[in-house]
Structure 1
Amino acid sequence: MPQFKRFVAYLYYYENDTKEYLAGFARVEMRGGICRLEIHLKGTEYAGQEGKVSLFIRREGKILAFPVGNMRLMSQSSDYSGRISDGELGDETCHIQDVCGILIQPADGNFYGSQWDNGEIHKEEIEMQAAEEPSLQTEEVPMHHIFPEQMSMEKEIQERSTQEKDTGEKEASIWEHWENLKQKMTLLHPFEGENITCVHMELQDLRELPQKYWCLGNNSFLLHGFFNYRYLFFGEQVTPEGRELFLAVPGVYQKPEKVMAAIFGFPQFRTEKPCRQLEGTFGYWYRRMDG
């Protein structure tokens, strides 16, 4: 049976061969001799430049880096998706299951990197393999092939925008949208000891919110959580101070995940039951939703 792996790897920025900070993450899937890759970086000082994306294996103390494509680096967020198979990775002794890391290299010699073995990444160990060989050609995988719901929602955004321009109709508030959702969705109370009511949402259900929130369908962290658990929570919390709405993404509390959640706009975390030790605990990264 072909070996199957699917995991998230965190990407760090390395300057002068020193690991500086957490910069993003990659979703990696290895199945049947094929590696599919999605990369998401949040913010970069290389806006407008391209970074060479490579997968690497370790051999005799060296990091053999095989280019798989180029990634356009942007000031706000940068995304890349692609795939490579066994036959496209070097010679017959190089296999997808041997891949143990990712490099993204701008032109200045610094790099973004991630590894999922026990080794480290040092610039002097990196040996770039020939990029011009036909065996290293790769196939781009558009994001909507992975999330077809996202493509559908983007189409509806365009149609809705055109409709509102034509009619001059003013959109309802988020609280009105919430009242509508409560009428047609099953109400849940998953958080023990808290006055919280919420509903299960899928990616396409974001269109049930005001249009200004539809862009969350492109939020890399939200997609990361939805990719793993296939649902979101939208709901209302009532406290002595008042009422507030929130959107929650399922995940596990880990320090790198906490940094990424905050960067992508989900700075708070709650568990379904009271918990003293958060590290390694399943729960929800969430953001408050204003009117």
Structure 2
Amino acid sequence: MRRFITYIYEYEQGNRGRNTGFIRTDLRENSCRMELQIRGFDRFKGKCPVYLTVYENGLQAIPVTELLLTQGMGSCSFTCENNRIGNSGFDVHQAQTLTIACGNGRFLTGCLSSTPVPEALRGEFLIFQEKEAVPPAAQAQTEPVIQTQSTTEPERFRQPQAMPEPEPVRQPQDIPEPESIRQPETTPQPETIQQPKTIPQPEAARQPQTSYQKVEIQDIRKLPKSNWNLCNNRFLLHGFFNYHYLMLKTLEMNGEKRQFLGIPGIYEQPERMMAMLFGFPEFEAAAAVSSDSKDMTGVFGYWMCPLNQD
């Protein structure tokens, strides 16, 4: 019997984001059981399909279970009998990744192979379809369906399609537009509707440019020397031990740059007191919090402190 832990990260367009949970794998001679734990994934709520991906004639995603996320947290488990992934015929040892599709091009991935193919990290896969025997008489009727299923469009970009509408409904003047982008024109301009990015946004140019970068404790030595004492900060060491990374926030505006160091954690009153005691007085939520709620308890984010620039 062999047991091991695999960490799950958020991926978007092939770029790895923050850690959102882990997979506990119990691999036996004749079965494989996997348990998933997700936490701190924004405030996402919904049912997400879970896949094991295998590379053979392209990357294929084999559905294994579903995960219900509530407020960005959830757990589930599944078993692969005889170490086979469902009825696909593939072995669990062939799995590249475990992928949780969350819609809108976002997904959570745990790498089960030491060198997964790049497509697995970009979510460019096809859903595995079991091949069924088709009677000769019905083969001609089912052929269009087979062609439709063989599309090479990545599953994470597929959106539910509405039934085709009559042509008059598709005229530009019948398309509802938000009030903010409706232009006072006598002649409809389809090009303007199809390219909302051309709408001027003068206010955005005056906003500070914010960037975030995951760093480790040793990266503090790359900062100005007056910040090196943070390497011995007990609160920082505690947070890094739990999440295995720190967050470097950079604000740039009018040629001036300010930086902040963040420790990942969950907002709790005892934690807040410890953060203030060790020099991290501000808390920045990792996702938008409802304005109706003044209580931040249970919200995932970062305890922040400003960094010295000299």
Give your verdict on TM over 0.5.
no
Which is greater in Rg?
A: 2
TM-score interval for Structure 1 and Structure 2 normalised by the shorter chain: 0.3 to 0.5
Using the size of structure 1 for normalisation, the TM-score is 0.42
Q: TM-score, normalised by structure 2?
A: 0.39
